[in-house]
Chain A
Amino acid sequence: MSQSAFAIETRNLRKVFGDKVAVSNLTLSVERGEVFGFLGPNGAGKTTSVKMLLNLVFPSGGEGYLFGQPLNDPAVRSRVGFLPEHFRFHDWLRGDEFLQLHADLYRLPSQQARRRIGELLELVGLTPHASKKLREYSKGMLQRIGLAQALLNQPDLVILDEPTSGLDPVGRRLVRDIIRDLSQRGVAVFINSHLLSEVEITCDRVAFIKHGEVIRVSRLQSLVEGELTVQVRARNLNPAMVEGLSRWGKNIRADGEHLSFTLPGEADLPEINRYLVSQGADVYALRPEHISLEDLFIQIVGTDGGL
């Protein structure tokens, strides 16, 4: 097996259905052990891209590799776990039978499979429901069993297509914990999601995709660092004091006890606090707020949602 530095690498991957271009030019690389968010509006080509990575859909052009192996090499998928969107499975199987089927498809030795199935049922909290048919599972339970299925082979790369939509807060927390645990163990996680808050919490890097093209890839840290908005709640503010803030900040707005302004970074915050106090203000709160991923998403993708 090749020791490529990348879990996923694609160059100019393209998919055309008839005369509709689903993915026009997908070029990205995901490092090993990285949690990578794949963001874009509905219809931007996210799911088609994921399907190309898994050889479910055949590219019309370009090339792609998982761990340095071409996408159409079935052997490389023994290192990959996949949770599809909508989690439709063979619903006439029982939970444990479903996991056994997929363990067989991964060709896990029977003893190892049995142990792993037990562990995973426990991890996703479905041990009491193992002998129920999937048909009787709730949406959340299906997603959990799907997640367990994606982890059977102790993969080096996990691809999750909308992993938390439809989950209750407890389920979302569970998915988050699992993702964090995977990344700590050096597993690359590729998350296709439109739930930005989830991505914000879990991802190291994000790619924004629009009209089937990656328009920006950023480290989440550097995205949300940089400009920030400061919210202040204080009594005894006066106009001169507010005026004086223009030394540091911009877009200053004062409204009764509330004051807000923007700063290029957080370095000046302690100085600003000292200034306000020295001018006689009673400061109750001084809260720096980074630009949210949602705002950034709209900035990058546009309010038309890429339609």
Chain B
Amino acid sequence: MNSITIAKLTFREASRRKILLAALLLGALFLTIYGLGYHFIIRDTTESFGEDRKFMINQVSNFLLMAGMYVVNMLTAMMTVLTSVDTLSGEIQSGAIQTVVAKPVRRWEIVAGKWLGFAAMLTLYLLLMGGGVMAIVYLRSGYTAPHPLQALSLMWLNAVILLSISLLGGASLSTLANGVLVFGLFGVAFIGGWIEQIGAFMPDPATNQTAMNIGVITSLIMPSEALWKRAAFELQSPLLTMMGDTPFTARYYPSDAMMIYSVIYLLVVFALSIQRFNQRDL
């Protein structure tokens, strides 16, 4: 009950502070540009190809859909971190949290409430943006990706993991240090993912193995890149999978075990954020 009150407050704050509005306007801008670009590319593809038209349109659509979803994934991650990074540390710093904690409220209800508020917001955002990209592609060419719901779920998991890390950092660190932490982890996962992918091309098996190990270890530290790769795998057409690596796709895709690990990771980070806030002097 108290969590709902805090969740509503959190959601209202984001909308009142115009963060949500800015993210939505930028999102609308992105979808517009994306839609226009997609429209013209499909027009040209339709004109250039004869009998293989349907096949080519599908391949182009799949590639562009994934490029779009890649941007949506990034935007959602950014929006999640930027809106939540100061929610605990900022209110602790200013003292605004004091009148809330001095109420008949348990501290976990505050963390859970904030989590719910932001999670609701990012879910809405992801559905609008991801759904928007998919809708544009479908409406223009009738193409649908293989597993859109799985992909969206994994992108959502990525975003709520970032949110939970941001709350954990906020319960322990200053806003600035928290920002460095979350984006730092995000960066580590990103680089680790690329080392793994580039390493896969190396002729030397030892280098190859080392790169793979780096990829696995960074994914264990921060699974965001692994989640995107799996989401991309769920979206990509069988042909693209065969073609191998592009900036938005992967030859190797993270295993189911990695996905289960990510869920556990989320639960642990969320529990830690509650524990940290429970012990924090305000």
State whether the Cβ of A86 lies closer than 8 Å to any Cβ in chain B. yes
Closest to B100 in A: A105
Residues of A contacting B5 in the complex (Cβ-Cβ under 8 angstroms): 101, 104-105
Closest to A91 in B: B96
Q: Is the CB of B282 within 8 A of A57?
A: yes
* Given A102-B99, A105-B100: A58 touches B279 (CB 8 Å cut-off): yes
Closest to A150 in B: B99
Residues of B contacting A74 in the complex (Cβ-Cβ under 8 angstroms): 104-106
Closest to A94 in B: B16
Q: Is the CB of A57 within 8 A of B281?
A: yes
Q: How far is the CA of A78 from the CA of B102 in the complex (A)?
A: 9
Q: Per-position contact with B for A51-69: 1 when CB-CB < 8 Å, else 0? A: 1001111100000000000
State whether the Cβ of A248 lies closer than 8 Å to any Cβ in chain B. no
State whether the Cβ of A262 lies closer than 8 Å to any Cβ in chain B. no
State whether the Cβ of A106 lies closer than 8 Å to any Cβ in chain B. yes
State whether the Cβ of A250 lies closer than 8 Å to any Cβ in chain B. no
Residues of B contacting A105 in the complex (Cβ-Cβ under 8 angstroms): 2, 5, 100, 103-105
Q: Is the CB of B104 within 8 A of A56?
A: no
Residues of B contacting A80 in the complex (Cβ-Cβ under 8 angstroms): 102
Q: Per-position contact with B for A228-265: 1 when CB-CB < 8 Å, else 0? A: 00000000000000000000000000000000000000
* Given A56-B101, A107-B104: A101 touches B9 (CB 8 Å cut-off): yes
Which of A75, A104, A149 has most B Cβ within 10 Å?
A: A104
Q: Per-position contact with B for A102-115: 1 when CB-CB < 8 Å, else 0? A: 10111100000000
State whether the Cβ of B17 lies closer than 8 Å to any Cβ in chain A. yes
State whether the Cβ of A84 lies closer than 8 Å to any Cβ in chain B. yes
Q: How far is the CA of A89 from the CA of B5 in the complex (A)?
A: 16
Residues of A contacting B95 in the complex (Cβ-Cβ under 8 angstroms): 84-86, 88
Q: Per-position contact with A for B105-127: 1 when CB-CB < 8 Å, else 0? A: 11000000000000000000000
Q: Is the CB of B104 within 8 A of A106?
A: yes
Residues of A contacting B103 in the complex (Cβ-Cβ under 8 angstroms): 77-78, 102, 105-106
Q: How far is the CA of A89 from the CA of B101 in the complex (A)?
A: 12
Q: How far is the CA of A78 from the CA of B1 in the complex (A)?
A: 15
Closest to A152 in B: B103
Q: How far is the CA of A95 from the CA of B30 in the complex (A)?
A: 37
Residues of B contacting A75 in the complex (Cβ-Cβ under 8 angstroms): 104
Closest to B95 in A: A88
Residues of B contacting A149 in the complex (Cβ-Cβ under 8 angstroms): 99
Residues 1-41 of B at the A interface (beta carbon under 8 Å): 1-2, 5, 9, 13, 16-17
Q: How far is the CA of A82 from the CA of B101 in the complex (A)?
A: 10
Give the total of B residues in contact with A, Cβ under 8 Å: 23
Q: How far is the CA of A262 from the CA of B1 in the complex (A)?
A: 63
Q: How far is the CA of A58 from the CA of B17 in the complex (A)?
A: 33
Q: How far is the CA of A76 from the CA of B106 in the complex (A)?
A: 12
Residues of A contacting B101 in the complex (Cβ-Cβ under 8 angstroms): 54-56
* Given A86-B95, A105-B5, A105-B103: A56 touches B13 (CB 8 Å cut-off): no
Residues of A contacting B210 in the complex (Cβ-Cβ under 8 angstroms): none
State whether the Cβ of A92 lies closer than 8 Å to any Cβ in chain B. yes
Q: Is the CB of B98 within 8 A of A84?
A: yes
Residues 146-194 of B at the A interface (beta carbon under 8 Å): none
State whether the Cβ of A219 lies closer than 8 Å to any Cβ in chain B. no
Q: Is the CB of A90 within 8 A of B13?
A: yes
Residues of A contacting B91 in the complex (Cβ-Cβ under 8 angstroms): 90
Residues of B contacting A91 in the complex (Cβ-Cβ under 8 angstroms): 96
State whether the Cβ of A146 lies closer than 8 Å to any Cβ in chain B. yes
Q: Is the CB of B94 within 8 A of A88?
A: yes
Closest CB of chain A to B19's CB: distance in Å? 11
Q: How far is the CA of A146 from the CA of B98 in the complex (A)?
A: 12
Closest CB of chain A to B28's CB: distance in Å? 24
Q: Which of A82, A85, A88, A89 contacts B102 (CB 8 A)?
A: A82
Which of A55, A76, A88 has most B Cβ within 10 Å?
A: A88
- Mark A residues whose CB is within 8 Å of B: 17, 51, 54-58, 74-78, 80, 82, 84-86, 88-92, 101-102, 104-107, 146, 149
Could you name 5 residue pairs across A and B whose Cβ atoms are closer than 8 Å?
A: A51-B281, A56-B282, A78-B104, A107-B1, A107-B2
- Mark B residues whose CB is within 8 Å of A: 1-2, 5, 9, 13, 16-17, 91, 94-96, 98-106, 279, 281-282
Q: Across chains A and B, which 4 residue pairs bring their CB atoms closest together, nearest first?
A: A105-B103, A78-B104, A88-B95, A82-B102
